[in-house]
Amino acid sequence: MNSKVIGLVDDEEVFHWLVESNVKMINDGCKFLSFFNGEEILNYLRSSPAVIPNILLLDLNMPVCSGWRFLENYANSAVKTEMDIYILSSSIDPEDKVRAKNFSIVREFVSKPISSDFLKRALNRFS
């Protein structure tokens, strides 16, 4: 099994630990990348990194640069990757789900809390 790369964009530190711990339990070989707002991941992607996440889990409400801003910038930028982008938000607002559908690059809108079932499903797409 190739080692998968999972990227998480979320301003809550505890969530990073939570996701990472869950991912490690499913597949210990996964690589985990942490970003705390949209700007960080954008800058990372623009820097032509060696490692690009297979899966990007994206929170919406974040300081400095929200998930929405990231999506707008990324969709309009020259940077193109083959990431599966999942919105992972504590929002259950239907309007957010509608808004998310406008972005074709978004694979799915997932509400928190995160479940290992979801992670397994997301990872299995690359097995």
Sites of contact with another protein (CB under 8 A): 12, 14-15, 17-18, 21-22, 25, 37, 61, 63-66, 69, 90-93, 111-116
Give the H or E element holding residue 34: strand 31-35
* CB contact burial 96-118 (16+ within 10 A = b; e otherwise): beebbeebeebbebbeeebeeeb
Residue among 52 and 118 whose Cβ is closer to another protein: 118
Residue among 5 and 26 whose Cβ is closer to another protein: 26
Give the H or E element holding residue 69: helix 67-76
Residue among 12 and 108 whose Cβ is closer to another protein: 12
115 Cβ contact partners less than 8 Å away, ≥ 6 residues apart? none
Q: How far is the CB of 30 from another protein (least distance, A)?
A: 15
Q: How far is the CB of 69 from another protein (least distance, A)?
A: 6
Q: How far is the CB of 95 from another protein (least distance, A)?
A: 10
